[in-house]
Amino acid sequence: MLGHEAGMHRLLLLALTPALSGCVIGTVANAAADIATLPVKVASKGVDLATTSQSEADKKRGRALRKAEEKAGRDAREAEQRCREAARRGDPCPLPGAG
């Protein structure tokens, strides 16, 4: 009986070998395709990160302009405050930037 079971196991193993080898070959082929396309994917991602779209550039420019306007407004308020303080003391208004 044991000899018969061992023979069946071998027969089953031989029958499954072609089916399993197709899975292995398919997996190896998929891995090879992934490896072959990886440099292209990495390079395109690098280009995307290195370049700035027009909308991104517009947003960045808009932020820079708003910051500059905010600073100019702060500077003007501070200069006005210094001028009021100088007028209360009877002094002439200080030059801008004389802080």
Residue in 63, 82, 73 with CA at minimum distance from that of residue 92: 82
* Cα Rg, the chain, nearest whole Å: 38
Q: Are 96 and 74 in contact (CB under 8 A)?
A: no
pTM for the predicted model, two decimal places: 0.44
Of the pLDDT bands very low, low, confident and very high (cuts 50, 70, 90), residue 12 is low
- Residue 39 binned pLDDT confidence (cut-offs 50, 70, 90): confident
Percentage of the chain beyond pLDDT 90 is 35
Whose CA is closest to 28, among 73, 45, 20, 13?
Answer: 20
What are 85's two structure tokens? 């303080």
